[in-house]
């Protein structure tokens, strides 16, 4: 396996920035890894907050323990701020992945 293919697969299939670390471009790799982890943590935080809200509603008796009622509550509990945060975070993750793949390919062929 050639080095450009190896680092592109690492950045594309494992995690953005890993290919940069293999090529010893530690600053670029670290920046991509940190940005991606921060964006993932924002997504997980919103998901956990939503899940806890649903669990609290079930425990308080506000909604019955039925799949239809829970699905309705989950669908309606998306607020504008959370939606914006999730969309922005997803954009950052995708941008890091694409930029990481293109940049590591360019560096490996240099």
Q: In the prediction, which pLDDT does 104 show?
A: 96
71 found inside a domain = yes
8 in any annotated domain: no
Q: Please state, as a whole number, how many other Cβ atoms lie within 10 Å of the Cβ of residue 109.
A: 10
Domain residues for 61? Answer: 41-110
**pLDDT tens per residue across span 12-62:** 999 999 999 999 999 999 999 999 999 999 999 998 988 888 888 889 988
Widest pairwise Cα distance in the chain: 63
Measured CA to CA, the distance from residue 110 to residue 96 in angstroms comes to 21
Tell whether 10 is covered by a domain. Answer: no
On the question of pLDDT at 72 being above 90, the answer is no
Would you say residue 78 has pLDDT above 70? no
pTM of the predicted model as reported, rounded to 2 decimal places: 0.83
Residue written as token pair 């530690």: 26
Burial tier of 16 (Cβ tally within 10 Å: 0-12, 13-18, 19+): buried
Domain membership flag for residue 12: no
- pLDDT of residue 100 exceeding 70, the answer is yes
* Tally of structural domains, the chain: 1
Q: Assess if residue 16 is contained within a domain.
A: no
Is 1 a domain residue?
no
Is 59 part of any domain? yes
Q: How many residues are recorded in the chain?
A: 110
In a domain, 58, yes or no: yes
């Amino acid at each position: 396996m050639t080095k450009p293919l190896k680092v592109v697969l690492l950045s594309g299939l494992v995690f953005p920035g890993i290919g940069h670390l293999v090529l010893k471009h530690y600053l670029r790799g670290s920046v991509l890894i940190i940005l991606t982890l921060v964006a993932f943590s924002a997504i997980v935080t919103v998901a956990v907050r939503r899940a806890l809200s649903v669990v609290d509603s079930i425990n308080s008796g506000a909604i019955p323990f039925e799949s239809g009622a829970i699905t309705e509550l989950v669908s309606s509990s998306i607020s504008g701020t959370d939606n914006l945060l999730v969309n922005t975070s997803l954009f950052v993750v995708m941008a890091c992945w694409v930029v990481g793949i293109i940049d590591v390919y360019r560096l490996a062929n240099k």
